[in-house]
Chain A
């Protein structure tokens, strides 16, 4: 195994161990908040995967909701309540939806992609509201999850789910890091920067987009199943556009570089939401908005940029004086060289001898 991969796995394992231990000391309300934040974080991580490939989905609520409903329905109707099984069901549901929808919308970009994803999530919302057999707009209750056959009592239920959430999020995050660091991950970033070039180099932009979409959808489904269990209830609002907006909020807050930042951003969202709800229930969205504005202004690349950078390959060549003076010279002569290159091409042709 490569050193970088080992570092990711070890770092992830240590962080997971610390957070698991911390769970035993944490108060009940914090465990619940943290679990919910982790669920949100896993969904938002999917958006980060998409963002690195150059698109943003404003409709992750769709897979989030689908995962929650699939897990919830199976738990409520078939009595299958094992947390890991339900999380898997959520993930698989997301992946299946991603694999169907992904190829259809992978050729859209920017606002069209965003709007299509919102539209699809709102279609699901509309359908669920009408489906009275499964609760209509009220949704339905999800039975208490069990853990490998063990039904925890009232006091330990939150802790058990929190621990499950940490493990699932930890594994998801590590896989995500490994993907980001891989050649496939680099390809995804290249697609974001220059699709034309990627196609001309011989790789399918479409394939990268679909891959990212399926991964994001899988994450969305897992997050949905987790939060369905944490809340003990699911309803069509899981697929409402405001829910999707919150995932985007978390992803932008976190930035594209750090996987851990997504969970930090997510816990910030949950804490701000809880406290604002308590102290200024009418205006908490305002607080959230101001917070996002501050981050965009002062940390345009998200809070992850505080400790992680976009560099993929560590420098080997020393930046010697020659290089540096060249750079200064280039800057003084031309600003944007791309523009210079295009402009310069014209006059040379008219007077080829000049």
Chain B
């Protein structure tokens, strides 16, 4: 089906209702149009990468879908239900979680403490009286770190951790709620070239047993080709291509505006 040797293709026939859908989304910042009439659907279980040059509107799209930015017009549907007006907290409750271009962590805390924050925020472990970390919640947090290969960093203060580790922790925290849709904003940015593939391998392996739809923003075309079954290319707030990786990467417009004709 595609050039991804790492994964078995998932659910080839797309289900009737897309898990996530955007309809005619528009968003401008002053004169800059960061989203211009974006309409797109995502099938359950798909692995989609969003590409585009700096300022193309990828993060804006992620921000709108997760409720952080309100679109000027248009609608966002989750399982066919309108969620356009929901805030990030509500979207998280509905199963739309994200990681960040710049990892959003509690800097003076350790990795395991950050992970506990995520478990606490998920509500399952919330209490005013029970000590945090008690009754197995610390073990649960450590097990999650282990799944992302972060055990050796568990007790280190995150402010002093390397970029790749911070990225992974950021993603791991977003996975605690077992989201339906996971949006990763540039999971490999700021990570050295040799570390990008191991990082993505770790993420994809950790997600392998989850029934999650993954949308990730990515600049590295090798990563994109290898880990996604569909590519959406953005340019100046518009979607200029949306297809299988090989199709998109050989597209003229994409070569002109996104990849710089390198491929």
Where the two chains meet, the residues of A that have a C-beta atom closer than 8 Å to any C-beta of B are 2, 4-5, 178-179, 181-187, 189-190, 193-194, 196-204, 310-313, 315-317, 319-320, 322-323, 326-327, 330-331, 334, 337-338, 340-346, 348-353
Closest residue to A327 on the B side, CB-wise? B160
> Are B120 and A203 in touch, CB under 8 angstroms?
yes
Q: Are B126 and A187 in contact (CB under 8 A)?
A: yes
A310–B101 Cα distance when bound, in Å, is 28
- Known A-B contacts A181-B131, A200-B92, A346-B54; the reply to A320 vs B106 at CB < 8 A is no
Q: Which of A182, A196, A204 contacts B131 (CB 8 A)?
A: A182
Instruction: Report the separation of the CA atoms of residues A352 and B254 in the bound assembly, to the nearest whole angstrom.
Output: 13
Q: Are B66 and A200 in contact (CB under 8 A)?
A: yes
B102 adjacent to chain A (CB < 8 Å): yes
Cα separation A330 to B154 with both chains bound (whole Å): 16
Chain B residues whose C-beta falls within 8 Å of the C-beta of A344 in the assembled complex: 163, 189-191
Given contacts A2-B135, A201-B177, 16 further A-B contacts (CB under 8 A): A5-B129, A5-B130, A181-B131, A186-B117, A190-B117, A190-B121, A196-B104, A197-B117, A199-B87, A199-B89, A201-B173, A202-B177, A322-B152, A340-B190, A342-B190, A345-B219
Q: Which 10 A/B pairs are nearest by Cβ-Cβ distance? A: A341-B190, A201-B121, A315-B155, A193-B106, A345-B189, A202-B92, A203-B121, A183-B120, A197-B104, A344-B190
Complex-state Cα separation, A327 to B160, whole angstroms: 7
Q: Is the CB of A352 within 8 A of B220?
A: yes
In the complex, how many angstroms separate the beta carbon of A92 from the nearest chain B beta carbon? 19
Q: Quick check: B116 and A337 within 8 Å, CB to CB?
A: no
| Given known contacts A183-B120, A201-B92, A353-B263, A331 and B54 CB-to-CB distance under 8 angstroms | no
Name, among A200, A312, A319, the residue most crowded by chain B CB atoms within 10 Å (CB to CB): A200
Q: Is the interface of A mostly helix, strand, loop or mixed?
A: helix
Nearest B residue to A311, CB-CB: B110
Within 8 Å CB of B117, what residues of A?
Answer: 186-187, 190, 197-198, 201
Neighbouring B residues of A331 by C-beta, 8 Å: 160
Residues of B within 8 A of A315 (CB): 110, 154-155
**Chain A contacts for B156, CB-based, 8 A:** 319, 323, 327
Question: What's the least CB distance linking B179 to chain A, in Å?
Answer: 10
Pick the contact of A2: B126, B131, B177 (CB < 8 A).
B131
Q: What A residues does B2 contact at CB under 8 A?
A: none
Contact between chains at B54 and A312 (CB < 8 Å): no
Q: Secondary structure at chain B's binding surface: helix, strand, loop or mixed?
A: loop
Q: What are 18 A-B contacts defined by CB distance under 8 Å?
A: A5-B131, A182-B132, A183-B127, A186-B117, A190-B120, A193-B105, A201-B92, A201-B176, A312-B109, A312-B132, A313-B110, A313-B155, A326-B162, A327-B160, A338-B103, A341-B190, A344-B191, A345-B219
B132 touches A181 (CB 8 A): yes
Contact of B160 among A189, A313, A330 (CB under 8 A): A330
Docked Cα-Cα span, A350 to B154, in Å, equals 35
The CA of A178 and the CA of B122, in the complex, are separated in Å by: 21
Partner of A320, one of B113, B152, B262: B152
Nearest chain A CB to B98 CB, angstrom units: 6
Proximity string of chain B (170-202) to chain A, C-beta cutoff 8 Å, 1 when within and 0 when not? 000110110000000010011100000000000
Cα–Cα distance between A187 and B109 once the two chains are bound (Å): 12
Closest chain A residue to B126, Cβ basis:
A183
The answer to whether A353 touches B166, judged by C-beta atoms less than 8 angstroms apart, is: no
Enumerate B10-58 residues with CB–CB distance to A below 8 Å: 53-54
Interface centre among B66, B88, B162 (most CB of A within 10 A): B162
Give chain B nearest CB distance to A154 CB in angstroms: 42
B89 in complex: contacting residue of A179, A203, A327, CB < 8 Å: A203
Residues of A contacting B189 in the complex (Cβ-Cβ under 8 angstroms)? 341, 344-345, 348
> Does A194 lie within 8 Å of B104, measured CB to CB?
yes
User: Is the Cβ of A202 less than 8 Å from the Cβ of B122?
Assistant: yes
Q: Is the CB of B88 within 8 A of A330?
A: no
